[in-house]
Structure 1
Amino acid sequence: MTLTATADSAVGTKDFIRKHGLWTAEQHAAAELVAARVQEENLRTVRVTTADPHGKLRGKTVLAPLFGSVLRNGIDFSTALYYFDTADGIVYNPFVAGGGLGDHKLNGFPDVVLVPDPLTFTTLPWAPRTGFCLGSVYFNDGTPVPFDGRNQLKAQLAALKENFGFEYLVGLEVEFYLTKLVDAPLSVDALGGPGEPMAPPQVTAIAPGYAYQSDDHQDQIEGVLAVLADHLMGAGLPLRTMEDEWGPGQCEFTFSPMPGLEAADAMLLFRSATKQIARRMGLHATFMCRPGLPSFYASGWHLHQSLVAPDGSNAFASPTELLAPTGLSFIAGIQDHAAAASVFTTPTINGYRRRTPFSLAPDRATWGVDNRAAMLRVQGGPGDPSTHVENRVGEPAANPYFFLTSQLVAGMDGLARSSDPGAPEIEPYSAEHRPLLPKTLMEAVEELRGSALYREALGDGFVDWLLGLKDFEIKRFMEAEGEWNAETVSAWEHREYFAQY
């Protein structure tokens, strides 16, 4: 056996991808181009990654000469990421029957196979000679791991195509904070442990705040934004605008519309890239919704979405009406299931601090015409081919695959029932006939627990697994804080989320 053959058999499972038919012809063709590019660009390593349940990247760094094997075989990957809550607290016992999750394929904490998607390959401009590739996770028999968010989103995109003939188009609008790093505590008593995050970094503001879209304030951090823009675009992300928001150092970045899976992949890379680039410049970037810092306002993630018809036209657009019937039914479904979807759109305890009246964030399941108080804000109108809906409920820490999946499941339910969203609201905060959204993660998990729609679409096993992770996170919060205080960001939240996200 040659050295090459030995190396090939040591990575993943030989010919795993072809054996189980996991790629399209387009992906196979892309893989050949990627393998050549790795050599031509003299890359040293390739980061092969996937999203954990909380929307954080986990992966392995592969030396470039072995990446060709990964493109044939996948790479062995631990199931550990499916057992951790937001602080890597171990929620389930992997050493009981079914691996603690009721699936015999998880007996004994086995490896699974991370299969890279060559269509996601890029190089990282801020990390010399480093490639990057996202992937999906499969059991050793070639079946998708149901806890993998990318697998779930792909399944719902396929259902949308098969049942209704539509493609899903998404635009990202994301708020976050840039701060100046003063100290990152690394003393042994600050490091924490499983289920106990390390002490959060000490920071100061990077710029003044409270002057919305101030050109002067943005100019003060132009040097940082320029580096971010160059690196993000260099990594292939379709960055469109960078704006000064409200809080000190609070930014909003928007991206050009992308197909659904591509958009979720982009959101994952964008967050990780921003944190890594900022840290290399002595800064700390956080996508935590509302940091526990004086006068730091909450950040949101606004998800712009529409459907593309088989002929390439916008299925939401109408020549004479605000929205075509397809658009009305889709948003009606999202409205109807907004409470249960909250665990997907707003998965942290901290994220619910946005849900207050007169805050530019929704507190009810409403829709309106270009109305920023509504949960669903329709932009466009009669004769406008760009007509779409913006869901303003999300937090920037949400797992992008879960967020988009939740919209598709609910929207398709609306399409299947030809649902009517009712009249748009002019005063959404006063629309008492519309249901209130969950005000806490505790309320949200109970809504999801009782959702027949999400259980049917995603499976009881998936829903119960995710609820178990959230229940564990809530339990740790309650043990530390005793109760939810709607007015004050707790020390637990700041330590749990400020560095993690």
Structure 2
Amino acid sequence: MSDWTSKLPEAARTYIASRRVDEVECVIGDIAGVARGKAMPAAKFGKQTSYFLPNSIFLQTITGEWADNPFDAFTEPDMILVPDFSTATAAPWTADVTLQVIHDAEDQQGNPVPFSPRNVLRRVVDLFKAQGWTPVVAPEMEFFLTARNIDPNMPIEPPMGRTGRRAAAKQAYSMSAIDEYGKVIDDIYDFAEAQGLEIDGILQEGGAGQIELNLAHGDPVRLADEVFFFKRLIREAALRHDCFATFMAKPIAGEPGSAMHIHHSVVDSKTGKNIFSDKKGGETEAFLHFIAGMQNHLPAAIALLAPYVNSYRRYVPDFAAPINLEWGRDNRTTGLRVPISGPEARRVENRLPGMDCNPYLGIAASLACGYLGLMEGKLPRAECTVNAYIDSDDIPYNLGDALDLLEEDSAFRGVLGETFCGVYNSVKRNEYKEFLQVISPWERQHLLLNV
């Protein structure tokens, strides 16, 4: 076994077994969370000492255009890619034996590239660690399986199930509904097992063809890596069965959107005790400070939790998505929910992020709000004990307003890094400008001959 293969996690070594590795994919998540990088023969990967990519990959918009770098002339200097072998995992849908390895981005002086999303998340985690805290998260992934859609002008339709009927809506938690596309689910389980990824549970959500996949709690960077991997494997599993998997926040009109709820707790790094619970099992001031930080800084974070124009179609009243910053115990109408749990598992669930967010940036932004709350020591508003699905001015309702709020919150930007926030703003302003130049079918239908 060569030097580099000896560094692989157990699941990757098991996948290889006695076979020869044909290819290694050197991957890194861009601003959108899209896997960028390069593939190379395994023999070359084992011999090569340096891997390079231009830093402009973090300036590419979701449409493929290039945003301006607000800090440098556009010279596209190379970054050094550093493999994190703890992330090495199979690509089990490929015809040959292929491994994926997530890489970290450093500049040519060996410093972390500040606008690489994985580095942004690690920066936030390190701020917790500097205070003697270890943040713990558990993301929930919602997504839709849909019929193939090869014409962007046509509406998205639910997939065809094994009964020959299209997947039905309003079937939350139905076992027979999820059996309709059981072969896709089987492949998701098989791919996850081959990759060494743990699934805490899969269930049918409320939308037609909508599924929720839960992950066990753990380290924020590792969990973001897993969401990054899961998005790719789920898409590949769907394609095997003539359908698409989409993580758009609102792919189908009239159906609920897809969220990435994030559960948060914080433990004392020395004792391992949850700082949200005291010795008697009650709630601590730190617990309330964390909630207050989310209430005070989530408006600025929305630009990262809802990163596209489509994201704001999920924030509508009475459609199972929170549009508020209220908090409540076991209250799913609030944006910040405290689930039922024992003292050791006391946590705060942020229900605002959409599944279209970059997992590194979504988790980083959410944790940043809680961190600021712990540092500021403020108290939250009174607990909401009623239905909070009401109109609210707590959060922005379009990407332009969200970016304005991000620019206004200097404390939040300081936690994520000013350089990153400048690059992110440049990319998102570019995308928003492009969207505003598109004329929609609604405009043509209702305005063309009537105004």
TM-score, L = length of structure 1: 0.80
Match of 2:112 among 144, 167, 170: 144
* Structure 1 counterpart of 2:128: 160
* Structure 2 counterpart of 1:10: none
SS in 2 for 1:394: coil
**Residue 157 of structure 1, CA deviation:** 0.9
Q: Against the structure 1 CA distance between its residues 202 and 445, is the aligned structure 2 distance closer, same or farther, given a 3 Å change threshold?
A: closer
**Distance (Å, rounded) in 1 between the aligned partners of 2:197 and 2:334:** 29
SS in 2 for 1:337: helix
Query: Does structure 2 retain, via aligned residues, the 8 Å contact 1:49–1:134?
Result: yes
Task: Return the letter of the residue paired with 2:429.
Answer: D
**Residue 356 of structure 1, CA deviation:** 2.1
**Distance (Å, rounded) in 2 between the aligned partners of 1:445 and 1:86:** 16
**Distance (Å, rounded) in 2 between the aligned partners of 1:241 and 1:343:** 29
**Residue 272 of structure 1, CA deviation:** 1.2
Q: Residues 56-85 of structure 1, C-alpha deviation per residue, up to 9 Å, x if partnerless?
A: 111111211122235xx3411122312211
Query: Does structure 2 retain, via aligned residues, the 8 Å contact 1:322–1:380?
Result: no
Query: Does structure 1 retain, via aligned residues, the 8 Å contact 2:322–2:389?
Result: no
Q: Against the structure 1 CA distance between its residues 214 and 470, is the aligned structure 2 distance closer, same or farther, given a 3 Å change threshold?
A: same
* Structure 2 counterpart of 1:191: none
Task: Return the letter of the residue paired with 2:173.
Answer: Q
Q: Against the structure 1 CA distance between its residues 129 and 31, is the aligned structure 2 distance closer, same or farther, given a 3 Å change threshold?
A: closer
Match of 1:81 among 54, 57, 61: 57
**Distance (Å, rounded) in 2 between the aligned partners of 1:321 and 1:484:** 54
Matches within 5 A, 1:407-426: 407-426=366-385
SS in 2 for 1:258: coil
Give yes or no for the alignment of 1:120 onto 2:94.
no
Q: Against the structure 1 CA distance between its residues 455 and 366, is the aligned structure 2 distance closer, same or farther, given a 3 Å change threshold?
A: same
* Structure 2 counterpart of 1:102: 71
Report which stretch shifted further, 312-321 or 34-43: 34-43
Give yes or no for the alignment of 1:208 onto 2:168.
yes
**Distance (Å, rounded) in 2 between the aligned partners of 1:256 and 1:66:** 36
Query: Does structure 2 retain, via aligned residues, the 8 Å contact 1:357–1:429?
Result: no
**Residue 358 of structure 1, CA deviation:** 2.6
Q: Residues 430-486 of structure 1, C-alpha deviation per residue, up to 9 Å, x if partnerless?
A: 788x8521111121111001111123223333212211111111111111138999x
Q: Against the structure 1 CA distance between its residues 342 and 88, is the aligned structure 2 distance closer, same or farther, given a 3 Å change threshold?
A: same
Q: Residues 160-213 of structure 1, C-alpha deviation per residue, up to 9 Å, x if partnerless?
A: 111x211111112111011232x646xxxxxxxxxxxx7789755232222221
* Structure 2 counterpart of 1:304: 263
Query: Does structure 2 retain, via aligned residues, the 8 Å contact 1:209–1:217?
Result: no
Query: Does structure 2 retain, via aligned residues, the 8 Å contact 1:79–1:111?
Result: yes
* Structure 1 counterpart of 2:283: 323
Give yes or no for the alignment of 1:33 onto 2:7.
yes
Report which stretch shifted further, 29-38 or 346-355: 29-38
**Residue 54 of structure 1, CA deviation:** 0.7
Task: Return the letter of the residue paired with 1:466.
Answer: Y
**Residue 250 of structure 1, CA deviation:** 0.7
**Distance (Å, rounded) in 2 between the aligned partners of 1:236 and 1:363:** 36
Match of 1:65 among 35, 43, 55: 43
* Structure 2 counterpart of 1:443: 401
Q: Residues 112-138 of structure 1, C-alpha deviation per residue, up to 9 Å, x if partnerless?
A: 111110110111222240101111111
* Structure 2 counterpart of 1:313: 273
Task: Return the letter of the residue paired with 1:449.
Answer: E
Matches within 5 A, 1:40-439: 40-70=18-48, 73-92=49-68, 100-103=69-72, 108-127=75-94, 128-162=96-130, 164-181=131-148, 184=150, 204-206=158-160, 207-291=167-251, 293-310=252-269, 311-318=271-278, 320=280, 323-380=283-340, 383-427=342-386, 429=388, 435-439=393-397
Task: Return the letter of the residue paired with 1:133.
Answer: V
Q: Percent identity?
A: 28
**Distance (Å, rounded) in 2 between the aligned partners of 1:34 and 1:445:** 40
Consecutive unaligned residues of structure 2, counting only runs of 5 or more, are 161-166, 446-451
Task: Return the letter of the residue paired with 1:409.
Answer: A
Query: Does structure 2 retain, via aligned residues, the 8 Å contact 1:365–1:435?
Result: no
Task: Return the letter of the residue paired with 1:180.
Answer: A
Task: Return the letter of the residue paired with 1:34.
Answer: L
Q: Residues 278-310 of structure 1, C-alpha deviation per residue, up to 9 Å, x if partnerless?
A: 11332210001111x454331111111111222
SS in 1 for 2:437: helix
SS in 2 for 1:420: coil
Question: Relative contact order: is structure 1 or structure 2 higher (C-alpha 8 Å, sep ≥ 6)?
Answer: 2
**Distance (Å, rounded) in 2 between the aligned partners of 1:402 and 1:484:** 32
**Residue 410 of structure 1, CA deviation:** 1.6
Q: Residues 211-253 of structure 1, C-alpha deviation per residue, up to 9 Å, x if partnerless?
A: 2211221122222211111111221111011111112111111
* Structure 2 counterpart of 1:480: 438
**Residue 149 of structure 1, CA deviation:** 0.8
Query: Does structure 2 retain, via aligned residues, the 8 Å contact 1:375–1:392?
Result: yes
Report which stretch shifted further, 106-115 or 336-345: 106-115
SS in 2 for 1:243: strand
Q: Against the structure 1 CA distance between its residues 280 and 211, is the aligned structure 2 distance closer, same or farther, given a 3 Å change threshold?
A: closer
Aligned residues, how many?
430
* Structure 2 counterpart of 1:97: none
**Residue 107 of structure 1, CA deviation:** 5.5
**Distance (Å, rounded) in 2 between the aligned partners of 1:469 and 1:427:** 39
Q: Residues 34-73 of structure 1, C-alpha deviation per residue, up to 9 Å, x if partnerless?
A: 3994795411011110111011111111211122235xx3
**Residue 322 of structure 1, CA deviation:** 5.4
Task: Return the letter of the residue paired with 1:427.
Answer: V
Task: Return the letter of the residue paired with 1:425.
Answer: C
Task: Return the letter of the residue paired with 1:88.
Answer: G
Query: Does structure 2 retain, via aligned residues, the 8 Å contact 1:116–1:134?
Result: yes
Query: Does structure 2 retain, via aligned residues, the 8 Å contact 1:454–1:463?
Result: no
**Residue 373 of structure 1, CA deviation:** 0.8
Task: Return the letter of the residue paired with 1:205.
Answer: P
Query: Does structure 2 retain, via aligned residues, the 8 Å contact 1:367–1:428?
Result: no
SS in 1 for 2:261: strand
Query: Does structure 1 retain, via aligned residues, the 8 Å contact 2:121–2:363?
Result: yes
* Structure 2 counterpart of 1:194: none
Q: Against the structure 1 CA distance between its residues 414 and 234, is the aligned structure 2 distance closer, same or farther, given a 3 Å change threshold?
A: same
SS in 1 for 2:103: strand
Q: Kindly report the root-mean-square deviation, in angstroms, between the aligned alpha carbons of the 2 structures.
A: 2.6
**Distance (Å, rounded) in 1 between the aligned partners of 2:388 and 2:59:** 39
Consecutive unaligned residues of structure 1, counting only runs of 5 or more, are 1-28, 93-99, 186-197, 489-501
Query: Does structure 2 retain, via aligned residues, the 8 Å contact 1:240–1:254?
Result: yes
Q: Residues 338-380 of structure 1, C-alpha deviation per residue, up to 9 Å, x if partnerless?
A: 1000011111111111212232221121111011111110013
